[in-house]
Each structure stands twice: as C-alpha cells, then as structure tokens.
Amino acid sequence: MLGIALKMLLRDRAKYAMLVSGLAFCSLLMCQQASVFCGLMMWTTATVRNIGAPVWVVDEKVEQANEVIPMREIEVERVRGVPGVAWAVPLYLGIEQARLADGSFQNVQLAGLDTGTLTGRPMDMREGRIEDLRLPNAVVIDQVAVEKFRRKGIPVGIGTTFEINDKEARVVGICHVSRSFLGQPYIYTTYGRAMEYAKPSRKQLSYVLVGPVAGVSASDLAARISKLHGLRAISKDELFWMTVFWYVKNTGIPISFGTVVILGVIVGIAIAGQTFYLFVYDNLRYLAALKAMGARMPTLAGMVMLQALSVGFVGYGIGVGLAAWFGNTVLAKEQPPFFMPWQVPAFVAVVILLICAFSATIGLIRIAKLEPAVVFR
C-alpha cells in the first residue's frame, strides 16, 4: 500500500507542489538564517582563529576576544614564570587609523606580532613573505584591505605605502585571514613597530600568547596562569565559545535571527500542516473506502506517514540545497557571513521531521475517527 500512497501523493500535483514548496521555503529560511548567524559568530571570533595561540592571557576584566584592556608589558615576564609555560609572547591588537594615498582614511585592526617569533602570523600568505615584516616600516595586509583599497581606486601590491597614525607603512605581503566582525582589515606588523604606530599610552600590551610544555593541557595551564593577580588566562577553545556566548547574550543578533528561524517553522507548520490536512481531508472518502475494504489503521498510518515524510524529504533537500547554493555564492564575496556546520542541516532536518509528523498526526486523528460505514452515506 505504500506504493499506492506515493502515487496518491505524487499525482495530486498541485497539493504536492504546494507541500514541497512550503517545506522547501521553511528549510531554506531556517538553514540560510542559521548559517548566516553562525557565519556572524565566526566573524566575532576571527581574531582568536587568525592568531591561533593555545592560551590567551588578558586583563581579568576582559569578557570576550574583541575586548582589549591594555596590560603592562611586565605581564609577559610574569606569565613566563608560571610552571608549564613553554613560551609566552606579547601581542598588540588595536584599531588604528590608516591614511591612504588619496588622503582618505580607513580604520584598520593592527596586529603587532612578537618580533622574534612572529607568533600569531597569518597562515595563508598570498603574496610576499611574513619574515619581511622585520624590514623597516613593513606591514602585511589582508584581502579585506586589498578589497577596500581597490574600491577607493588605490592600486595595492607589494611596495604600496600608506600611513598609520601619520607613520609610513609599506606593504611587504598580502595574506588571507578570516574577516573581522566589524569588517576592518587586519594589518600585521611586529610588536615593536605596532608600539610606534599606536597612540602612546601607559599600558599597551593587549594579550600574552602562551604555549604549554608537553604534557600540560591548555586548560590546565590557563588555570595556573589565572592565579596570577589581575590576569585571566583562557584556552583558545574557551575564548572562542566565551566570545560567541558574549555576543549571543549581549546583542540582539540571536533574537533577530531566531525570530526568522521561528517564522520559518511557523510558515512550515502553517503551509505544510494545512495543505497536508487538506490533502487528507480531500481523500477521506477514499480512505474510508480503503478502511471498509479492510485496510487496517497501521496500514493507513504508514501510508500517511510515508506521504508526509516524502514531501518533507524532498522539501528539505530543495531548501537545504538552495541555502547551500546561496552560501556558495556569497562565500565568494565573503558577505554576508555564511557558515553551515553539520548541526544546522541536522537541526533543520529534525524541525522538518517534526512538522511532517505533526501534519501527519492531524490527518491521522481525522482518519482514526473515520467510520468505514461513512462510505455508504
């Protein structure tokens, strides 16, 4: 009877198309919005992922990765004294103003790497060598800088110069790193030069990047360092999730995206539920005839469930496929953010499954109440 059930569904083309398009739209809405939300959250953690140190030491008041409370440079030495620390290097991170050749200004995220080790260097160099950062006035810019400079008509390449806080910066390399939440380009230089570019202040150290000795986990080491007065040490993974949860808790982003996802669920239930109920309702006399002819309730339930699940499966496939196509298209431009971890399609699959089960259950309640004798009326 399952084959009969599928024929009944597929040959009722108008309702089938309505059901599939409703569920596809619902899947697309949920998948696309959830993926853009995940993409945004990835942007918020760009610094953590771009620098990539196992343990980050910050001021004890810091709540997330993009919040910089400057520390004294002596903190690097204090951290190096903690047992289990293999290495500890300073990192400067701050928003500075770059003045371009045409006189226009551009805010940039300046990252000052430890001069000796260049710890936190970008992993994907598209042009030039990171070691050239040790040359005078040298900086490495990322793809966002190239894009923003070019948009202003300024040709960019190795040798291009611009100013950061009135001091010359010369491009020695172009890298590709994760885009930051605020969309400012990353400009890499050495820690010492970053101190020259940055506006002078009493405390300038943003982070101490730390690596554990073999046999000590990042979280254990972070716990040991956090015992130092005024400091907080966080493992890379903890800092990643701390930052994500900070944005979830302190911004309207999840409410905004969550609302759209909930709307998707409501649209799915409204369209799919109602259309499926209509489909069952229109077939009630035939289902009653089947009951009279000896179809048992489990057989009819199997038929209805199969019909609901098959439209769910096709609608889900189309919706997630469209979301993936959208993602693939926007990823080339890197805007809007898009990141679809496996949990997103899995979550959407569960929601679609629930919508289908709900729709089928409404129909089944009607069928269960149906007296086979109604076929004679």
Among 14, 255, 293, 332, binds other proteins (CB under 8 A): 293
Footprint (CB under 8 A) of other proteins, residues 10-49: 11-12
Kindly state the smallest distance separating residue 5's Cβ from other proteins, in Å: 10
Cα 47 to Cα 225: distance, rounded to the nearest angstrom: 21
- Nearer residue to other proteins within complex by CB, 7 or 126: 7
Cα 242 to Cα 163: distance, rounded to the nearest angstrom: 34
Contact segment (CB under 8 A) with other proteins among 57-65, 202-210, 221-229, 286-294 equals 286-294
373 lines the binding site for other proteins (CB under 8 A): yes
Contact segment (CB under 8 A) with other proteins among 5-13, 102-110, 129-137, 184-192 equals 5-13
First to last CA, the chain: 25
Contact segment (CB under 8 A) with other proteins among 4-12, 123-131, 136-144, 264-272 equals 4-12
Kindly state the smallest distance separating residue 307's Cβ from other proteins, in Å: 12
Kindly state the smallest distance separating residue 40's Cβ from other proteins, in Å: 46
Among 61, 294, 333, 342, binds other proteins (CB under 8 A): 294
Beta bridge partners of 171: 139
Cα 52 to Cα 50: distance, rounded to the nearest angstrom: 6
- Nearer residue to other proteins within complex by CB, 28 or 308: 308
Among 3, 136, 159, 215, binds other proteins (CB under 8 A): 3
Task: Write out the two tokens for 51.
Answer: 């620098």
State the pairing for strand pair 85-99/207-212. Answer: antiparallel
292 lines the binding site for other proteins (CB under 8 A): yes
> Which residues contact residue 256 at a Cβ distance below 8 angstroms, ignoring those fewer than 6 apart?
none
Longest Cα–Cα distance in the chain: 95
Cα 171 to Cα 261: distance, rounded to the nearest angstrom: 43
